[in-house]
Structure 1
Amino acid sequence: MQSQAQEIIPLSTYQKFVIFILAITQFSVILDFMVMSPLGDLLMKSMDLTPKQFGIAVSAYAFSAGISGLLTAGFADKFDRKKLLLFFYTGFVIATFFCGLAHTYPLLVTARIITGLFGGVIGSISMAIITDLFEIKQRGRVLGFVQMGFGASQVLGIPISLYIANKWGWQSPFLMVAGLGALIVTAIILRMQPVTAHLAVQHDRNAVDHLLHTLKRRKYRIGFSATALLAIGGFMMMPFSSAFAINNLHVTEKQLPFLFMVSGICSLIIMPMIGRLSDKIDKFVLFAIASGWSIIMVFIYTNLGVSPFWEVVLLNVLMMMGIMSRIIPSTALVTALPEMQDRGAFMSINASLQQIAGGAAAAVGGMIVVQAHKQSPLEHYNTLGYVMITITAICVFMLYRVKLLTKKKD
């Protein structure tokens, strides 16, 4: 009986298309956000920004994304999920285009706020679609492929973005993402079917009542807390990773794309493997192992001094293996908490708290990290590592509680 419970359920042709379109959508959204990190050193020098100012530019997207998710949570289950995805993704594409037109710091921050208002909801809509269309025993694989957007953004998006940024200015990667987004909008319109099964089990609540109902449920709040904590550590370190690599580890600007590309290739290989593994073994056990590994590697990497490039690449890959391997099992567990009629609201609130927590982490990280002048090493980057280690340990406990709740629901 146990072996039958762990059998791999095959995916239909249409399900494979949905996975592809959600993966490439996530790729563009993640690239739009992730590109701020490798462009960090270039932006800080070209606009003469302090780490604190750059942290604000990063957190502006996250805060607006979080607010947007809370505002849309109440009616996220009231509409066809395809229409919601199309509306917010189209807004994201237009806002990203305006990011590419920004030439001053205030305009950049404003454009990032607008992009966050639309882009911050897309991940939660995608998760709701996945939860509606795929069984729990399929979701590890599905999330493994959809989360490949992170790896693909590093393999393809970030190296290309850095190349064209060095050639045509830091605004050009945003114009590239907007162009790709226009093609994705067309594919969603032409090929994706409506996602409306949740409408048949809706309660007659207004948007505010539905939001409050979702927030009041204790088991949902535990899931929200686990997700928010998971976001804090990564958002603290990530925005300053390129500046740390260049100014502290003495990675050159020409080597930086290769560093991101190697990490991305490893993510592309690892994420599907972790996805399949999470459908076969206990998801919490997998999460706990990945968390322990990431704690060790974060401690080593954030305390590095000037190092050979091969050593930086190796340690960065090993660290990202641990960090990324936590995402799939944790997401699969948390998405198992909500009932069908609450999924849209749950995913929106979950994504909002993730973004708000990440935005706060990026802003606080910018206050902790100090740089005397443009070429000097970052100070206190290892402090961010210690904070992430502490939070990671707490996350293990929180996700154990989520596991108990999902078992009870089953």
Structure 2
Amino acid sequence: MKQPQSTAATPFTAYQKLLIGILALLQFTVILDFMVLSPLSDILMKSLNVTPAQFGWVVSVYAFSAGGSGLLAAGFADKFDRKKLLVFFYAGFILGTFGCAMATSYHLLLAARVVTGLFGGVIGAISMAVVTDIFELNQRGRVMGVLQMGFAGSQVLGIPIGLYFANLWGWHAPFLMIVGLAVLLMLVMVLKMQPVNKHLALQSEKNAFLHLGHTVSNSRYQTGFLATAFLSVGGFMLMPFGSAYLINNIHISQHSLPMVFLCTGISSIVIMPFIGKLSDKLNKFHLFTGGSILAIIMILIYTNLPPVPLWLVVVVNMIMFMGIMSRMIPATTLNTGIPEMADRGAYMSISSSLQQVAGGIGAVIAGLIVSQSGKGAPLQHYGTLGIVVAAVITACIFFVYRVSVMVQNKQREVVNVAAAENYDSIDEVLPEHL
């Protein structure tokens, strides 16, 4: 009997490269739609007479609606071609973002964020299911490294350009910019992306809600759900008040903010492909832990900064986001190794839902921790917020460790299956099991 041999990092086909580009741009637009709120926070709070607590709800309501739609979509996520699901939800996301651009009051903006969250919050989960179906486990670290560049790209290109437009034409302009880009991407996706429907042949449950129930009740999956939820809480707590903190506490001018986000994004673009490659070669949990420790140190420094020069703010932000990104890529890659192919859509939808809801709760808590005595006054208790975020990151290490152990056990099971079935390579069985 031949002993199955694990292959090295598998190269991408031409279509896989195209698909990575489409999914990365999807991530870019969806993340930018959410990320642009942070640099606009000071403008929005002053323009619409919004308090920190109310702005926390502007952020949170997106997360809560995304979480609700994720749970509703989870039972159906494995019942349809994943390409069709992406097109449907992306169209709704475009409409929601257009509603944000047209909003003229706090309550209209709040309603538009609900619509955007209902559709946009599911896109990431479907994208992860597509990645898991199309790419082998030893390719996914590199794929995640590119997809996470949507985050960095939003800072390098999207946020600075959005802030420039906002300074010229008002805070509505960045949302119109996102809509224009998303419409073009929708056309490319419809014309170039192939159906993703191999999972349909593996479905045994006809009832979508029964499928949802079985996925939720799986004890192995529950550990992954917890890890995903904790992974997002810290970012949701820290990010919404980022620009207000820089402007009112550190005394960075509104016109200098694009430089902060530009440099931070460039550093992320440099580090993420490197982290993605390391994630395919090294122990993912060890990489995650190192990034978590760096993130904790830099968050505690950042949230207690006195007024300092712009260059020092840029350096601190760059190092802090290097730590944050070094957490996200290996943790997300590990999480894709948990579900079976027949459950991937539901699993990713539930994970995304819990991630959004947990993050929404985190944003609400952040709004309750942080206070401001008046327009232009320094934010109070931001250092306390940093301590809370550090504690959440520490707790997340435990859950990601448990995920890592489960994935390693599953890989050993796949090796045993390959040996028993006389496969030449474990990659022949990996697509169905990992």
Normalised by the length of structure 1, the TM-score is 0.98
- Taking the aligned partners of 2:206 and 2:391, their CA distance within structure 1 comes to 40
Equivalence map 1:348-387=2 (5 Å): 348-387=349-388
Q: Distance in 2 between matches of 1:255 and 1:166?
A: 12
Note if 1:241 corresponds to 2:245. no
Matches of 1:34 and 1:152, distance apart in 2: 11
1:121 deviates by 0.2
| CA-based RMSD | 0.8
Distance 1:379 1:350 in 2: 33
Q: Which residue of 1 aligns with 2:276?
A: 275
Q: CA deviation at 1:292?
A: 0.7
Deviations 1:124-165 (A, max 9, x none): 000000000000000000010011000000000000000101
Using the TM superposition, give the Cα deviation of residue 74 of structure 1 relative to its aligned residue in structure 2, in angstroms: 0.3
What's the counterpart of residue 135 of structure 1? 136
Distance of 1:121 and 1:155 partners within structure 2: 25
Q: How does 1:283-294 map to 2 (within 5 A)?
A: 283-294=284-295
Letter in 2 for 1:296: I
Equivalent in the alignment of 2:261:
260
What is aligned with 1:403? 404
Q: Which amino acid aligns with 1:253?
A: Q
Q: Which residue of 2 aligns with 1:82?
A: 83
The secondary structure found in structure 2 opposite 1:279 is helix
Give the secondary structure class of the aligned counterpart of 2:171. Answer: coil
The separation in 1 between residues aligned to 2:132 and 2:270, in whole angstroms, is: 24
Query: What is the aligned partner in structure 1 of residue 197 from structure 2?
Result: 196
Measured in 1, the distance between the counterparts of 2:205 and 2:9 equals: 37
Post-superposition shift, 1:204?
A: 2.4
Pairwise CA distance, 1:324: 1.3
**Counterparts of 2:47 and 2:112 in 1: how far apart (Å)?**
18
Task: Check if 1:154 corresponds to 2:146.
Answer: no
Which residue pairs with 1:8 in the alignment? 9
- 1:347 is matched with which residue? 348
CA deviations over 1:322-370 (Å, ceiling 9, x no partner) = 0111000000001100000000000000000000001111111111100
What amino acid does structure 2 have at the position aligned with 1:373? Answer: G
Give the match's secondary structure for 2:83.
helix
Contact 1:297/1:318 (8 A) holds in 2: yes
CA contact (8 A) 1:124 1:351 kept: yes
Structure 1 pair 250–5 and aligned structure 2 pair: CA distance change class (3 A) = farther
Q: Which amino acid letter does the alignment assign opposite residue 280 of structure 2?
A: D
Q: Which residue of 1 aligns with 2:416?
A: none
Q: Does 1:390 align with 2:391?
A: yes
- Quick check: 1:215 aligned with 2:216? yes
Q: Residue deviations 1:281-330, cap 9 Å, x none?
A: 00000001101111111111111111111111101111111011100000
SS in 2 for 1:76: coil
Q: Distance in 2 between matches of 1:134 and 1:368?
A: 42
Give 1:170's aligned residue: 171
Give the whole-Å Cα distance in 2 for the aligned partners of 1:110 and 1:280.
45
2:18 is aligned to 17
Quick check: 1:52–1:367 contact (8 Å CA) kept in 2?
yes
TM-fit CA distance, 1:94: 1.3
Count of residues in Structure 1 that have an aligned counterpart in Structure 2: 407
Instruction: Give the aligned partner of residue 55 of structure 1.
Output: 56
User: What residue number does 1:105 align with?
Assistant: 106
Q: Which amino acid aligns with 1:157?
A: G
1:319-358 to 2 correspondences below 5 Å: 319-358=320-359
* CA displacement, residues 169-204 of structure 1 (integer Å, 9 cap, x when unaligned): 101111110111100110011000000110111112
Match of 2:420 in 1: none
Q: Aligned pair 1:303/2:304, yes or no?
A: yes
Choose 1 or 2 for highest CA Rg: 2
1:95 corresponds to: 96
Looking at structure 2, the residues matched to 219 and 374 of structure 1 have their Cα atoms a distance apart, in angstroms, of: 48
2: CA distance between counterparts of 1:137 and 1:296? 31
Contact 1:6–1:280 at 8 Å: present in 2 too? no
Q: 1:6·1:279 contact (CA, 8 Å) conserved in 2?
A: no
For the 8 Å contact 1:275–1:328, the answer to whether it is kept is yes
Look up the equivalent residue of 2:291 and give its one-letter code. A
What's the counterpart of residue 181 of structure 1? Answer: 182
> Aligned partners of 2:312, 2:190: CA distance in 1, in Å?
46
2: CA distance, partners of 1:210 / 1:8: 33
Q: Deviation above 6 Å: which 4+ runs of structure 1?
A: none
**Counterpart of 1:136 in structure 2: which amino acid?**
L
Identity of aligned residues (%): 58
3-state secondary structure, aligned to 2:281: coil
Gapped regions of structure 2 (runs ≥ 5): 412-434
Helix, strand or coil at the partner of 2:96: helix
Supply the distance in 2 between the matched residues of 1:251 and 1:100 (Cα, whole angstroms): 26
Shift of 1:6: 6.6
| Secondary structure, aligned partner of 1:100 | helix
Alpha-carbon deviation of 1:205? 3.2
Amino acid at match of 1:346: Y
Q: Give per-residue Cα distances to partners, 1:99-133, cap 9 Å, x unaligned.
A: 10000011000000000000000000000000000
Aligned partners of 2:330, 2:394: CA distance in 1, in Å? 16
Q: Distance in 2 between matches of 1:381 and 1:230?
A: 20
1:5 Cα deviation after fit:
4.2
Deviation at 1:397, TM superposition (A): 1.0
